[in-house]
Every structure is written in C-alpha cells, then in structure tokens.
Amino acid sequence: MSHARTEPALSASTQTSVFTPQRPRLDLLIASALVLYLELVCIRWFPAHVVFLTFFTNTVLLGSFLGMSVGCLAASQKTDLIRWSPGLIALGMALALITEGGANFFQRVLDVGNRASPQLVYFGTEYHFNDLSGFFIPVEAFNALFFFLIALSLTGPGQEMGRALNHVPNRIEAYSISIAGSLGGIALFAVCSTFELSPFWWFLLVAMGLGYFVAADRTASRREIR
C-alpha cells in the first residue's frame, strides 16, 4: 500500500521537474528582457529588409505579441519551445534577405493592395497593370508568412517567461521582476541604437539570451534522465 501511494508522487515530480526553473527570479528577469529586446529587434530589422511589411505597420508587433502570449500559455508543456527559436529566427532572416535581394521580382508578382489605378500609391512599389493571365500573390499572404515566423520565434522566450512567472510565489514580486526585465530589454536596445551597433551585435545578444535558456533546459533534461 505504501508503494502504491508513493509511486504517483514520484511520477508527478518526474513530470514537472523538466520545466521547473532552478533560478526562477533570474530566469524571469532574463526572459522578460529577452522578449522585449527581441521584439524591438524584429520591429527594427524585418521592415528594413522586407519593404512589403511596411504596408501593414503592426505586422511584426502583433506577431511578437501573439508568440509571447502563446508561449506563456504553453508554460506547463513538457516540450521546450526555446530550442526551436534560433532556427526559426534564422529562417525568418534568410527569407527576409532573399526578399530584399529579389525585390524587383517580388514587385512583379505581388498584388499590393489590389490597386485599380496609378493614383493609389504604396511606398516602395510602382503601379503595374495586372495581366489577368499572369500569376499574382496577395501581399497579405506574403506578410502572413513573416507574421507567423516571428510569432513562432517568440513562443520559446514566452514559454520561459511563463514558466518563471509560475514559480515565483509572490505575484507582486513576480510582475515587478518581469517589468524590470522588460525595461532592461528596452534599455539594452537603446544602448545598441545610441552606439549605432550593427545588426550583427543585435542578434548576438539575442543568441546569448537564447543560449542561456537552451543550456538550462538541456541541463534539466540530463538531470531528469539521471
């Protein structure tokens, strides 16, 4: 009987230890800073290379909010979403650079705003007559691709932030730490802007933040196997 009682407790402990932060307050501070900093980096970098994103100015912002929110909702899931974030960010950047390099081609095949006359102007594109026999892609569908890539990239940091929030017992303390981390992320990007650092340094800081959580999750997984 005693063995029957203790077995579920051991099972529950095994199930939750994988995603239990070892340093919830520090993790919460770093995760909150990473979310805000990565959001600002995406808002600044992606529209600069994908001119079509500027037609819907809140695409990157809303994608970041969605990814962060979904990540927080997935805080109790065993899968570590942060491991997918580096690849998703790299994929989004690669597609953005391809779009920038082939801007002339995309201007010919993208239907921007379904323009019926030359009087309707979108910055960055010229009016062209849509041949009904040609192939055109709505720019909304094109932007949706980057919207979901950015959202998926933010789910990992959002999940880590949600996990850390759940393991700080005092709610006021938890939200205070989260706000402090968010302000730190904003300040960090402001420093990068002040010193006119190149995007290489922006994303290097992102990689360092992601690497912190990837390493922590792998350590927790190894501890669980033992």
Q: Treating both helix axes as pointing N-terminal to C-terminal, what angle do 139-166 and 24-49 enclose, rounded to 10 degrees?
A: 170
Quickly state the pLDDT bin for 112 (edges 50, 70, 90): low
% of the chain exceeding 90 in pLDDT: 59
Quickly state the pLDDT bin for 216 (edges 50, 70, 90): confident
What's the average model confidence in pLDDT over 175-195?
97
Position 224 scores a pLDDT of 52
CB 85 within 8 A of CB 210: yes
List pLDDT tens digits, range 79-106.
Answer: 999 999 999 999 999 999 988 887 667 6
| Tokens matching residue 134 | 């040609």
Residue 128 vs residues 54, 83, 101, 110, 111: alpha-carbon distances, Å: 19, 43, 20, 10, 9
143 vs 63, more confident = 63
Quickly state the pLDDT bin for 117 (edges 50, 70, 90): very low
Task: Report DSSP state, residue 52.
Answer: G
Is the per-residue pLDDT at 111 higher than 70?
Answer: no
On whether the pTM is more than 0.95, the answer is: no
**Mean pLDDT, the chain, as a whole number?**
81
Distance (Å, whole) CA 125 – CA 130: 14
2 vs 66, more confident = 66
CB 89 within 8 A of CB 37: no
